[in-house]
Amino acid sequence: MDTSFLFPVLILVVLYFFMIRPQMNQAKKEKKFSTELKRGDRIVTKSGIYGTINDINHKEGTCIIATMAGKIKFDKSAISMDLSSKLKKTSSQ
């Protein structure tokens, strides 16, 4: 087999396993997290706002978050999966 053909194929395989596949797995986890949100969950938004989910509208993809300052309507994609899971771990200890 010609080595000039093997090298680009090898680069594409490495690119897939180190860059594309992990992003696809992360997107699946975030989608699962977003669909499993329920009323009463303590969350953190990507902008750093802490609160509790008060209401979820699945049709619009929004939720109302109760904070110390009042209630705020957010898009579900604005909720940080990583920060919210850390918040759940610290509150359960």
pLDDT digits (tens, 9 = 90+) for 52-82: 999 999 899 999 999 999 999 999 999 998 8
The torsion angles phi and psi of 36, rounded to 5 degrees, stand at -90, 0
pLDDT at 93 (0 to 100): 66
Residue among 24, 42, 44, 40 at smallest CA distance from 32: 24
Asked if 43 and 51 count as a contact pair (C-beta separation under 8 A), the reply is yes
Q: What is the residue extent of each domain of the chain?
A: 1-36, 38-93
pLDDT at 54 (0 to 100): 95
- What CATH class does 38-93 carry? mainly beta
